Amino acid sequence: MHGLTIGKLAKKAGLTIDTVRFYERRGLINEPARTQSNYRMYPEEDVARLIFIKKAKDLGFSLSEIKELLFIQHDPDASKSDVKERTEAKIRDVRCRIKDLTRILKALEQLSKGCDGHGPASACPILEALSGPEEEHHHHNGGGS
Amino acid sequence: MHGLTIGKLAKKAGLTIDTVRFYERRGLINEPARTQSNYRMYPEEDVARLIFIKKAKDLGFSLSEIKELLFIQHDPDASKSDVKERTEAKIRDVRCRIKDLTRILKALEQLSKGCDGHGPASACPILEALSGPEEEHHHHNGGGS
DNA sequence: ATAAACATTGGACCATAGTCAAAGGTCAAG
DNA sequence: CTTGACCTTTGACTATGGTCCAATGTTTAT
Ligand SMILES: [Zn+2]
Ligand SMILES: [Zn+2]
Ligand SMILES: [Zn+2]
Ligand SMILES: [Zn+2]
C-alpha cells in the first residue's frame, strides 16, 4: 500500500487530523484519493505541502494568502514577481503592525512612567488619562493576517 | 428629562448603538435605568465610561482587560499598583508581539532579498524556502489582547 | 394624523483558525 | 472474536469584537 492515512500525514507534518481536514475544507490541500473503505490516502508530497503551510503561517501569511501562494507554486504560468509581490505586501503589512504596536508601546510606557504605583487607584494618573477628553488617532491600513 | 437615550450616548461616545448594547452584554457598562416605555436612559457619566473603553482599546487592552480596569476604577479599595501592574503586563505583551513581528519581518526580508522577481515561479527561492525541511521555532508567550 | 426617526428584543452572521463531540464504520493484534 | 486504535461524517463550539436583521413599539416633527 502506498500513501498515507490522515493520521500518518498529520503526524509527519506536525498537525492534528482536525487541522488537516480543516485545510482540506478550506481548499489548501486537494481532496485525496480514497480507499475502498473510504479512508483518505495521501501522496507523500502532501507532507511537504502541509509543511509549506505551516512555514508560511509562521511568516504571518493568512490561510487565504497561503492558498494563493500554493496556487502560484503549482501554476506553470506564474512568475517569481507574483510571489515576490505578495512577500513585499506582507512585509509592508508587518511593518505597519510593528509601527502601530510601537505607538501603543510608547503610549503605555508614558502612562506607566506617570504612575508611582503607591496609594489608592482613585488618584491613578493612568486611569485619569483614560478618562480624559477624546483625541484623534491613527487608522491602521487594511492588510492581511 | 435628564439622561441620554442609547442613540445620543452612542453618538457622544463615537460608537454605534449596537456596540453600546454589545458592551452592556459583556458587562462593560451597567444596565441603565429604563423609561416607562422601556427605553434605556443613561447618565452623562456613561459617556466618559465609553470613551475610557475606546481609549483603552486603542492601547491594546482587550474588552475583558478593560472590564477589570473599569472595575478597579470604581473600587475604593483598589490601589494604583493594581492599575500599574496591568499596564506593565500589557507593555510586556506588546513588546513580545513586536519582537515576534520583528523576527517575522527579518525572515520575510531575507526571503524577498533572495528573489530577483524575474522568471517563472517554479524557480523562486521564496517558494523553495517554504518547501524546505522543517525548523525549530520560537513559541510566543501567552499574553492578552 | 401620519410619517420619519428612534427604540426594543432575539437571534443570526462576519472573519480567523481551528477544536471537539457523537455515532458509527474499519483495521490490526492478541 | 473481541478490543483498541484508527477512520468517517455532520455539526456545534471556542474566542474576539462586533454588525445586521426582522418584527414591533415609541417619540417627534410636520
Ligand atoms: Zn496609577
Ligand atoms: Zn497598521
Ligand atoms: Zn521569487
Ligand atoms: Zn510573542
Across B70-74, average pLDDT: 96
Beta bridge partners of B111: none
- Residue A144 — pLDDT band, cuts 50, 70, 90? very low
Which of B84, B95, B100 is best to mutate for the A interface (most A CBs within 10 A)? B84
Geometric angle at alpha carbon B9, from B8 and B13, rounded to 5°: 115
Geometric angle at alpha carbon A129, from A94 and B86, rounded to 5°: 65
The pLDDT value recorded for residue B138 is 60
DSSP per position, B113-139:
HT--S-SBGGG-HHHHHHHS-------
Cα separation of A54 and A49, whole Å?
Answer: 9
Contact B131 A52 (CB under 8 A): yes
> Is pLDDT above 70 for B145?
no
> Is pLDDT above 60 for B65?
yes
The pLDDT value recorded for residue A135 is 72
Residues of B in contact with A126 (CB under 8 A): 80, 83-84, 87
Q: Encode burial over A9-41: b for 16+ CB neighbours within 10 A, e otherwise.
A: bbebbebeeeebeebeeeebbeebeeeeeeebb
- The three three-digit cell numbers of residue B136, written as one number: 525549530
The pLDDT value recorded for residue A145 is 42
- Residue A133 — pLDDT band, cuts 50, 70, 90? confident
Q: Is residue B136 less than 8 Å (CB to CB) from chain A?
A: no
What residue spans define the domains of chain A? 1-61, 79-131
Average pLDDT, whole number, for chain A? 93
* pTM assigned to the model: 0.91
- Would you say B145 and B60 are in contact if contact means Cβ atoms under 8 Å apart? yes
Give yes or no for CB of B54 within 7 Å of strand D. no
> Is pLDDT above 90 for B32?
yes
Cα separation of A39 and A35, whole Å?
Answer: 5
Other beta carbons less than 10 A from residue B77's beta carbon: 8
pLDDT tens across A33-42, in order?
999 999 999 9
- Would you say A134 and B51 are in contact if contact means Cβ atoms under 8 Å apart? yes
> Is pLDDT above 50 for A31?
yes
The pLDDT value recorded for residue B107 is 97
Across A89-113, average pLDDT: 97
- In A, minimum Cα distance to B13 occurs at A134
Handedness of CA A57, A60, A65, A68 (dihedral sign): negative
- Would you say B28 and B53 are in contact if contact means Cβ atoms under 8 Å apart? yes
Cα separations in angstroms, B117 against A54, A66, B123:
24, 19, 10
> Is pLDDT above 60 for A143?
no
Nearest residue, CB atoms, A127 vs list B73, B98, B122: B73
pLDDT tens across B9-18, in order?
999 999 999 9
Chain D nucleotides reached by a protein CB under 7 Å: 6-9, 16-21, 25-27
Cα separation of B8 and B1, whole Å?
Answer: 13
Residues of A in contact with B123 (CB under 8 A): 80
Strands (E) across A35-125 are located at 40-41
> Residues of B numbered 80-119 whose beta carbons fall under 8 angstroms of chain A's beta carbons: which are they?
80-85, 87-88, 90-91, 94-95, 97-98, 101-102, 104-105, 107-109, 111-112, 115-119
Which residues lie at CB < 5 A from ion ligand 4?
A: B 96, 100, 140
The pLDDT value recorded for residue B2 is 83
Structure letter (DSSP) for residue A120: B
Give the distance between the most distant pair of CA atoms in chain B: 73
Chain length of chain A: 145
Q: Tell me the backbone φ, ψ of residue B6, rounded to 5 degrees.
A: -60, -35
Across A27-51, average pLDDT: 97
Contact B87 A104 (CB under 8 A): no
Give yes or no for CB of B34 within 7 Å of strand D. no
pLDDT tens across B107-140, in order?
999 999 999 999 999 999 999 999 987 776 665 5
Fold of B1-61: Multidrug-efflux Transporter Regulator; Chain: A; Domain 2 (1.10.1660)
Other beta carbons less than 10 A from residue B74's beta carbon: 12
pLDDT tens across B84-106, in order?
999 999 999 999 999 999 999 99
- Would you say B28 and B67 are in contact if contact means Cβ atoms under 8 Å apart? yes
Contact B108 A94 (CB under 8 A): yes
